[in-house]
Amino acid sequence: MIVNDLVKHQNPWLSLGRETGIVVSSRVRLARNLKDRAFPGWAGEKECDRLCKEVADACGKVGRLSGAVVLDMAGLDELERELLKERRLISSEFADRRGGSALILSADERIAIMVNEEDHLRLQAIAPGLCLEETWREIDAVDSEIDRHLNYAYSPTLGYLTACPTNVGTGLRASVMVHLAGLRLTGDFDRVMKGLTRLNLAVRGLFGEGSEAFGGMVQVSNQSTLGESEQAILARLLGIVQDLIVHERNARARLMEKSRIVALDQVSRALAILKHAMLISSMEAVELLSILRLGADLKLVDGISEAGINELLLVTQPGHLQMRLGRKLDSKERDRMRAEFVAGRLRHVEIAEQRG
Amino acid sequence: MIVNDLVKHQNPWLSLGRETGIVVSSRVRLARNLKDRAFPGWAGEKECDRLCKEVADACGKVGRLSGAVVLDMAGLDELERELLKERRLISSEFADRRGGSALILSADERIAIMVNEEDHLRLQAIAPGLCLEETWREIDAVDSEIDRHLNYAYSPTLGYLTACPTNVGTGLRASVMVHLAGLRLTGDFDRVMKGLTRLNLAVRGLFGEGSEAFGGMVQVSNQSTLGESEQAILARLLGIVQDLIVHERNARARLMEKSRIVALDQVSRALAILKHAMLISSMEAVELLSILRLGADLKLVDGISEAGINELLLVTQPGHLQMRLGRKLDSKERDRMRAEFVAGRLRHVEIAEQRG
């Protein structure tokens, strides 16, 4: 099974990019719909199936998508859906779809197109580190090529038409996942989060809409899609993310200058629990791995890189854990297998600097 | 200095006695006053000094107290007072006394007599494990001998007269320190505590009046001193403690049968943090050592006994830590030294049973 193969290779957002100590990944998605066709929420299943086929055909003609797979959502079991969601290739809403929906996924997982989510097409490009500009160019190129083969619903005054008015216009949502573990330790996290919501930005946790900012992992994205050009939206978001990076860098520097022992204590505790706990929930795994990731950036930890920790953040999630073991596990079993797996992976990881 | 020497030898309640997996220590104290003399709160300093001398002279004639030391409270510095308090040889109130107060302490620390606390004499016997009967006999014998040399204030109708009416009658307070870590893990702790207060018992934490029940360490003692004989008070308390022991034993058995992995997880985490944290507060030390103590009783831990953990519970307290290092430390330094000390002591302690 193709989805099963995903577990064996690394997701692109798990490699390293620019500002990788603080920025985990950048993502740009576009909402597009076909002209004179009912939105997925109103269309019948047959109509949806036909549309899936049309979109798949169009994508087949796009050079960047050669080698892409088309996954019919009706053919996926629960675990496979969970896996795709955890890899941030589909939305929670899409994970519940059955017939009439499909995922088109590039071989390198950087491009994912959900067909018949809320809109006919949701095109996403995702890449590690801070690279809004590159991911934008990548998805824009794919979008332009698809546009040649399909007839998009577009109004000269409103821009791209979408099922939900919040996406009308550019249909663009750009988001950056930042890791604000330093601000959490200095106690400035909540203040910074409040500031972000005042700037009309959406702020979410590691696992998308509705998820909490466990471990200081925060997705920051634009709220409005109308009345600004794509470039203006991206430039504004980039500016804010760069501010966040400065705040977080300062917090980490302050920690190392004024409370080095506090940082060392937190990192050492997180590592000790990750290596010795017998049960670890997925939320706690995120919290502890987040602190370990901060430790790696601050050179307090030997034997694992930020990318290695990013991978652990992914593969300790319920779907990945179960896919690796090849069977469904109940919550208690998962917690036990997660603890065992993490302890094994971190066996040779040590605190770089012992107490002095 | 005599107080300094205390750090080097073990407090009697740190050895092992009956039911030692659950009962840490038993203590009996008697409140006594001299006839026709102002209570300490009303007496002048000169009067108090004279009374101290009289009591010390009387105690000098008691066989059981040969080799006892008399510590003039005016001569003790802050750290020494703290140390005596942590060893449960004086009360918090007494630790603040200066002139006109003295502590008479038997060579083995089992008998401690505070002179001019709230009452003229507060006589205490303390011993490890469950031994209310023995400690009662021990302090009763000392009390009877002292009675021969001093004139106690006694009313044929009320019994012994005391500064506070809550002590009138027998002047007896018996208390048992129980370690209810199992009930905490099964979630039944609060329910059991509520039951105890309904039984007209005083329930306190490890460090006496006003302290919380950190780590499930609870001192249970009688509230009323009037209208019952000493034997009746002791028998009632003993009955309740025996019930508590049964509850706690059952909780531990249930844990091992139904949630062995949860118990193992908690003990393994506590040990990992104790060995790897860089900063540990005294409250957290109690919490973690308490779980480790449960682990020792359940044979989940190799390399340390309950008595060894009892000792750590004592020597990680602020006064003992500073006395050991020979200087005052601020709170942050204490937390660092405590973590270093504990990690050193637990270096060779391991989880008996690895994950399976």
At residue A232, the pLDDT reads 93
Please indicate whether, in this complex, the C-beta atoms of A265 and B277 are within 8 angstroms of each other.
yes
Please indicate whether, in this complex, the C-beta atoms of A265 and B273 are within 8 angstroms of each other.
no
At residue B146, the pLDDT reads 97
Q: What is the pLDDT of residues B128-177, one digit of tens each?
A: 999 999 999 999 999 999 999 999 999 999 999 999 988 999 999 999 99
Please tell me the distance from the alpha carbon of residue B344 to that of residue B8, in angstroms, as a whole number.
18
For residue A222, what are the β-bridge partners?
A: A201
Residue with tokens 């000493």: B230
Quickly state the pLDDT bin for B16 (edges 50, 70, 90): low
Chain B residues with beta carbon closer than 8 angstroms to that of A275: 272
At residue B10, the pLDDT reads 58
Q: Which two tokens stand for residue B103?
A: 């502590």
Please indicate whether, in this complex, the C-beta atoms of B269 and A262 are within 8 angstroms of each other.
no
Please tell me the distance from the alpha carbon of residue A237 to that of residue B346, in angstroms, as a whole number.
50
Whether this model's ipTM surpasses 0.95 comes out as no
For residue B210, pLDDT over 90 is answered with no
Q: Nearest CB to A277: which of B268, B336, B343?
A: B268
Q: Nearest CB to B279: which of A261, A271, A340?
A: A261
At residue B228, the pLDDT reads 87
Strand pairing of A102-105 and B201-204? Answer: unpaired
Range in A73-77, A302-306, B321-325, B352-356 with the lowest mean pLDDT = B352-356
Please indicate whether, in this complex, the C-beta atoms of A340 and B355 are within 8 angstroms of each other.
yes
In the predicted model, residues of chain A with pLDDT beneath 50 are 1
- The residue count of chain A comes to 356
Q: From the CA of B19, how many Å to the nearest CA of chain A?
A: 29
* Cα Rg of chain A (Å, integer): 21
Domain map (residue ranges) of chain A: 3-251, 259-354
Quickly state the pLDDT bin for B253 (edges 50, 70, 90): very high
Chain B residues with beta carbon closer than 8 angstroms to that of A339: 265, 355
At residue A49, the pLDDT reads 95
A14, amino acid identity = L
Residues of B with CB under 8 A from a CB of A: 261-262, 264-265, 268-269, 271-273, 275-279, 332, 336, 339-340, 343, 351, 355
Q: Are B244 and B182 in contact (CB under 8 A)?
A: no
Average pLDDT of every residue of chain A? 91
Distance of CA B186 to the CA centre of its chain: 26
Contacts of B263 (CB under 8 A, 6+ apart): B185, B255, B256, B294, B295, B298, B300
Distances (CA, A) of A332 to A124, A313, B32: 34, 19, 57
Quickly state the pLDDT bin for B224 (edges 50, 70, 90): confident
Work out the percent of chain B whose per-residue pLDDT is above 70: 93
DSSP assignment of B261-318: HHHHHHHHHHHHHHHH-S---HHHHHHHHHHHHHHHHTT-EES--HHHHHHHHHHTSH
At residue A307, the pLDDT reads 86
Chain B residues with beta carbon closer than 8 angstroms to that of A277: 265, 268-269, 272
At residue B59, the pLDDT reads 97
Interface probe, candidates A262, A265, A340, chain B, greatest B C-beta count within 10 A: A265
Please tell me the distance from the alpha carbon of residue B222 to that of residue B202, in angstroms, as a whole number.
6
CA angle A109–A110–A115, rounded 5-degree value: 75
How far from each other are the two terminal CA atoms of chain B, in whole angstroms?
52
Chain A residues with beta carbon closer than 8 angstroms to that of B352: none
Q: From the CA of B285, how many Å to the nearest CA of chain A?
A: 14
Quick one: average pLDDT of B75-97?
Answer: 93
Please indicate whether, in this complex, the C-beta atoms of A277 and B272 are within 8 angstroms of each other.
yes
Identify the CA nearest to B232 among candidates B192, B159, B289, B172. Answer: B172
Please tell me the distance from the alpha carbon of residue B290 to that of residue B218, in angstroms, as a whole number.
11
Residue B23 has phi, psi (to 5 degrees) of: -100, 120
Q: From the CA of B306, how many Å to the nearest CA of chain A?
A: 22
Contacts of B242 (CB under 8 A, 6+ apart): none
**CA torsion sign, B343 to B347 to B352 to B355?**
positive
Residue A311 has phi, psi (to 5 degrees) of: -65, -45
Q: From the CA of A261, how many Å to the nearest CA of chain B?
A: 7
CA angle A51–A132–A96, rounded 5-degree value: 35
For residue A235, what are the β-bridge partners?
A: none
Within 10 Å of residue A109's Cβ, how many Cβ atoms?
19
At residue A207, the pLDDT reads 67
CATH annotation of B3-251: 3.30.590.10
Chain B residues with beta carbon closer than 8 angstroms to that of A271: 276
Chain A residues with beta carbon closer than 8 angstroms to that of B301: none
Please indicate whether, in this complex, the C-beta atoms of A272 and B272 are within 8 angstroms of each other.
yes
Q: What is the pLDDT of residues B288-308, one digit of tens each?
A: 999 999 999 999 999 999 889
